[in-house]
Structure 1
Amino acid sequence: MHTPDSLPLLGITMGDPGGVGPEVCARALADPDVYRICRPLIIGDAAIMTNAVAFSHLDLAINGCSAVTDGRFAWQTIDVLDLANLPLAELRHKTDTAAQGRASFQYIKRAIDLALAGEIDGTVTAPISKAAINLAGFHYSGHTEIYGELTETTDYAMMLADGRFRVTHVSTHVSLREACDRVKKERVLRVIELTAATLHQLGIEQPRIAVAGLNPHCGEGGLFGTEDDREIAPAVTAAVAEGIAAEGPLPADTVFSKMQGGLYDSVVVMYHDQGHIPAKLVGFHYDEKTDSWDQMAGVNVTIGLPIIRTSVDHGTAYDRAGDGRANPQSMIEAIRLAARLAA
């Protein structure tokens, strides 16, 4: 199966070599449907990908590339832009190492550089270890922050999407104390605006956006905190004045059920766990009998960037890395969404 040149060309970073990233990349590209929607190019190490294909028992060839133009983009052959950053002898599954952190950071940097240069149409990222990249001297709290700095973008946000279930975060990888301090009118308004723009890009002509409160019962008129009345409500009023169909602040204990019922197209949440917990409850399913995740749905999207970035909505999963049993569902969905945004 050869892929038409008109399909979007996506750079897919391999993630931390010691995690499940290489395996979920390999398993995703074993799906022929992926090649019907895009031209996928793994950015990483050809030797590590060859190893992942082998222990996953996949009948796939590896085409090591020195440039984007070397890609064949044909099913059953995985094109790898080979940075040769980590010799196979240094691979340590289930372990944080500086070498693996350095390699995973370089994959991301190359993908961003290629996207900014227009050589690829979008980027998709496999999971990295925050501990490993910090061991390597790259002091970031996650992918989102790396993309923000390397694209010189100040107004960006994290959206988690699983079908019609979408949440966008005012803050992400900071302490809960700092997250409360970051709930300011200007930031809340900007995240509402970015959410509306992304929903338009996804083809939703008149998106309906709910804005979650920070405090229980949205502060109950100041009894449980004043941020909802002082910062969030004015941001929603300003968004409505711009023509955005926003509503809030709304109690976080019911707003996600309302979105699931079709009342809203997205919820703007105030901090990491307020959005991640419901998103993963909806998208993930663990089966105790098989000791496996039989469902790992959901995509992480960084919105507000000058380039497209989607990602799996799970971590390195060291507990099963290298075992040949990782679930590629989230990676396949991330590729699909990136292709949709690029197209």
Structure 2
Amino acid sequence: MTSRPLIALAMGDPAGISPELTAKLVAQDDIRARGRLVVIGDRRVFDEGARIAGVRPELKTIEQGADLRATEGDALFVDLGHLDPGQVERGVASLAGGQFALANYKRALELGRDGRVDAVCFTPFNKQAMRFARADYDDEIAFSAEVAGLKTPASEFNVLGELWNARVTSHIPLKDVAARLSGERIQLALKLTDSCMRNAGVARPRIAVAGLNPHAGDGGNFGREEIDIIAPAVAAGQRDGIAAEGPFPADTVFLRAKGGAFDAVLTMYHDQGQIAMKLMGFDRGVTLLGGFLFPICTPAHGTAYDIAGQGVASIGASRAAVLLAAEMAARRRGAKGGV
């Protein structure tokens, strides 16, 4: 069979732009050249997305238990048959939409966990709909770790071209950030960032570490976290062979990284990096879940309810997500001597 990696592509929220993005991805020649897509969802929802997108991608519907690696075809479809498009109200988060996306993603993760695919991607979810379907749904990291049986640390990265953003804390209230910071957490984040970037082909990632406080604490005038926690953690990372520097003021560090001084910025909390990355390339950014045995990628934007059904959704970030997953999966297979 072909040496191209197998990528499970879970359809996201059906009330947003996910169905049309999924159809557009399958129709992309460069994606099909880099990997074999296995779309997971409901074929009726996919076909409606293709109609909206104005594409007619070729893909073969297969049995749920089929041997994916032995099945011929550039693109395959695993039809769970679990949502009638007529039940979806476009632009509205719903229990049905959340159940649809959750089931698709769970099946994709199981395929990755069991080694039946080499990477997992998904088109955008709606968090409210996901919580309608599962009240304790926190974020993709926790859910993915549960399904994949991961016991080691995982984290979310944002990738924009050659520039990465990692974070020490993620989906927690801003008032809790300072209390959650520790030297151990920062060192773990540095190690995971270094490892994931190397797996993506960056030989020796240069990581800038942002401070927590304005002007990186201004020598202790605006807070001591930089002095007492962050700087010692950066020094420890350097002793471990990681090319880390900082802490730097968060309001200027991305300018330096954008200019080529660094390959990644490690931020202390979610929006500290997200705002900068989305301003630089909202329609091209990728979210990568790092620390798993297989790459998990998705576009960094949301479900765009306001333009759903119009066929105008940009494929840029979704395309970048699948291509990054394909690259990382190919590197992993090469390191293992796979074919």
TM-align CA RMSD: 1.5
Query: What is the match of residue 259 of structure 1?
Result: 257
Please point out which of 213, 216, 220 is paired with 1:218.
216
Q: Secondary structure at the match of 1:139?
A: coil
CA contact (8 A) 2:294 2:329 kept: no
Which residue of the other structure, out of 28, 42, 46, is the alignment partner of 1:45?
42
- Distance (whole Å) between structure 2 residues aligned to residue 335 and residue 134 of structure 1: 26
Q: Is 1:309 matched up with 2:299?
A: no
Query: What is the CA deviation profile of residues 165-202 of structure 1, one whole-angstrom value per residue up to 9, with x for unaligned ones?
Result: 21001122211112232221111110100111112112
Asked whether the 8 Å contact 2:156–2:288 carries over to 1, the reply is: yes
- 2:121 matched to which residue of 1? 124
Q: Is the 8 A contact 1:35 1:73 kept in 2?
A: no
Say whether the 8 Å CA contact 1:25–1:328 is kept in structure 2.
no
What TM-score do you get using the length of structure 2 for normalisation? 0.92
Report the Cα distance in structure 1 between the residues aligned to 2:270 and 2:127, rounded to whole angstroms: 16
Residue 57 (structure 1) aligns with: 54
Which residue among 168, 189, 192 is the counterpart of 2:190? Answer: 192
TM-score, normalised relative to structure 1: 0.91
Structure 1 residue identity aligned to 2:116: E
Deviates more, 1:267-276 or 1:50-59: 50-59
Q: Which runs of 5+ in 2 are unaligned?
A: 331-339
Residue 165 (structure 1) aligns with? 163
Structure 2 residue 94 is matched with structure 1 residue 97: yes
Aligned counterparts of 2:58 and 2:51: Cα–Cα separation in 1 = 10
How far apart are residue 149 of structure 1 and its match?
2.7
Greater mean alpha carbon deviation, residues 113-122 or residues 142-151: 142-151
Q: Which moved more, 1:191-200 or 1:144-153?
A: 144-153
What CA distance in whole angstroms lies between the structure 1 residues aligned with 2:127 and 2:205? 34
- Which of the residues 234, 240, 243 maps onto 2:241? 243
Please say if residues 31 and 319 of structure 2, whose CA atoms lie closer than 8 Å, have aligned partners that are also in contact.
Answer: yes
For residue 7 of structure 1, what is the aligned residue in structure 2? 4
Q: Map residues 139-150 of structure 1 onto 2, 5 A cutoff.
A: 139-150=136-147
- Residues in 1 aligned to 2:167 and 2:268: alpha-carbon distance in whole angstroms: 6
In 2, distance between residues paired with 1:303 and 1:61?
31
Separation (CA, whole Å) in 2 of partners of 1:228 and 1:149? 33
Q: In the aligned structure 1, how far is the partner of 2:256 from the partner of 2:248?
A: 11
The secondary structure found in structure 2 opposite 1:33 is helix
Q: Which position in structure 2 is the counterpart of 1:327?
A: 314
C-alpha contact 1:50 1:62 (8 A) present in aligned 2: no
Aligned length: 326
Residue 338 (1) aligns with residue 325 (2): yes
SS at match of 2:77: strand
Q: What residue in structure 2 maps to residue 279 of structure 1?
A: 277
Q: Percent identity?
A: 35
Cα distance, 1:72 vs. partner?
Answer: 4.4
Structure (1 or 2) with the greater helix fraction: 2
Q: Give how far 1:154 is off.
A: 4.4
CA drift of 1:232 comes to 1.0
Other-structure match for 2:110:
113
